[in-house]
Structure 1
Amino acid sequence: MARLPALLLLPLAACAGREPPPCPPGHEAALAVLDRGIHAELNVEAAALVGRPRALARGAPALRLGYGKAGFFDIPGGPGIVAHALAPLPGPAVMEALPVAALPDPAVDAPAYAVPLRDPGGFNAFLDATLPEGPLPPGRFLPARPGYSLLHTCNTWVARGLGAAGLPVSSAGTVRVSGIVAQLAAVPGACRLR
């Protein structure tokens, strides 16, 4: 019986260390995944967006997108100890929509992976379905649908967005960013920007 936990860790160990190859010099992409440690984000060129998602860029050339629990992810300076204690509980979610100068966002010092945007329509529909109904409120953090839970986290949201963009990425096994990155290693055309 002592072997059972070790067997459960094998799928995670198989994913460890796998990532796409480095991008060739001068490689350009319309979509990228940012690996912020325990939190994944999407970075997309504004030109690839339409409708309400395009409005989020507010004229900037690119947009950085994230998802998280309201009252945790959207706290300036980081959440306090109470928010950390309550983080695993289900609750309302927010989507961060930050207009940025380039893809990948030069203000973020984190690994970034370029991926093909095979289905821009599906990706835009995914973003629109995440946004609140009606006119978009101003601000960097917007109420998001569906709510946050341990089954729908920042990383599962990114994986679902990549799936909507036409990539063979599943939200299963995406508790950590490494679960997304390992899947990107098998995506033709995916590469590490930095």
Structure 2
Amino acid sequence: MTPRRSLLASALLGACAAPVPAPLLPVPAPGGIAVAAEAWHTDLCLPAGLLRAGPLAPFAGAAPAAQGFAFGFGLDSWMRADRPSLAEVLGAVSGGPAVVSVRATPGPLPPGAEDSVALRLPRGGAEAIAAFILGSIATPPVAAPPGGSWLLLPARRGYTLGFTCNTWVMEALAAAGLPVPVAGIRLRGEAMAALRDEARRQAAAQPVSSPGGVT
């Protein structure tokens, strides 16, 4: 392995290191969404009601009890491996075919979520995210398994070190009208830091009620 590839592989493995789980994780508010992080990966977490009321409804058809659905993106070989090996690490460095993942979740976030950021969407944002997800997959949507297993659908775009799962999430949010960066976002830490900045911006813009209820 060349020094450059060794460095990139080390960085990728470092991005997979899981931090100490947070005791309480933000979940989507009504009309909002969340981004959940687990190991190196981030997912868009949409409330089940948002799916069932729009064009993403086919994904929810087999999981009526699910409270949420998590959408992600990743290297096909990595996402299908039971235990990703050095071969999958090198594949992630060189890039290759990608998949869009879908999971029906028993709660608003995936059970293994270690971190999350909840965000409000601008008007039309939910519809824009649905269009982005449908535009990312190369096949028609099908029902996600009710038990939370991964549904993996071929993606229209390939995976590269310049366009990872975290880049995909940020691009989806930008498509929804949120002022988040896309270029240069590759790792989980970069994505979550940018999303916390957006969450703080949204909190600062939220009207504050006075004790008498006047804003």
Structure 1 residues 186, 131: closer, same or farther in 2, change over 3 A?
same
- In 2, the alpha carbon distance for the partners of 1:120 and 1:62 equals 14
After TM superposition, what 4+ stretches of structure 1 lie above 6 angstroms from structure 2? none
1:189 and 2:202 aligned = yes
- Tell me, what secondary structure is at the counterpart of 1:71? helix
Shift in Å, 1:123: 0.6
Query: 1:170 is matched with which residue?
Result: 181
- Tell me, what secondary structure is at the counterpart of 2:191? helix
Structure 1 residues 150, 174: closer, same or farther in 2, change over 3 A?
same
Retained in 2: the 8 A contact 1:41–1:65? yes
Could you state the TM-score of these two structures normalised by the residue count of structure 2? 0.68
Given candidates 26, 38, 41, the residue that maps to 1:39 is 41
- In 1, the alpha carbon distance for the partners of 2:156 and 2:48 equals 22
Q: Which shifted more, 180-189 or 147-156?
A: 180-189
1:56 and 2:59 aligned = yes
Q: Which shifted more, 96-105 or 132-141?
A: 132-141
Counting matched residue pairs gives 166
- In 2, the alpha carbon distance for the partners of 1:134 and 1:96 equals 13
| Larger fraction in helix | 2
Query: 2:117 is matched with which residue?
Result: 113
Query: 1:126 is matched with which residue?
Result: 132
Retained in 2: the 8 A contact 1:94–1:143? yes
- Tell me, what secondary structure is at the counterpart of 2:72? strand
The amino acid of 1:80's aligned partner reads S
- In 1, the alpha carbon distance for the partners of 2:184 and 2:176 equals 19
Consecutive unaligned residues of structure 1, counting only runs of 5 or more, are 1-21
Structure 1 residues 47-105: Cα deviation after superposition (integer angstroms, max 9, x where no partner): 22322x222123323101111001112222x2222222222122111111011122123
* Identity percentage of aligned residues: 28
Retained in 1: the 8 A contact 2:58–2:143? no
- In 1, the alpha carbon distance for the partners of 2:168 and 2:94 equals 17
Query: 2:91 is matched with which residue?
Result: 86
Retained in 1: the 8 A contact 2:47–2:67? yes
**Aligned CA-pair RMSD:** 2.7
Structure 1 residues 45, 70: closer, same or farther in 2, change over 3 A?
same
* Structure with max Cα Rg: 2
- Tell me, what secondary structure is at the counterpart of 1:28? coil
Shift in Å, 1:137: 7.9
Retained in 2: the 8 A contact 1:32–1:43? yes
Shift in Å, 1:28: 2.7
1:65 and 2:76 aligned = no
- In 2, the alpha carbon distance for the partners of 1:109 and 1:166 equals 25
Retained in 1: the 8 A contact 2:60–2:144? no
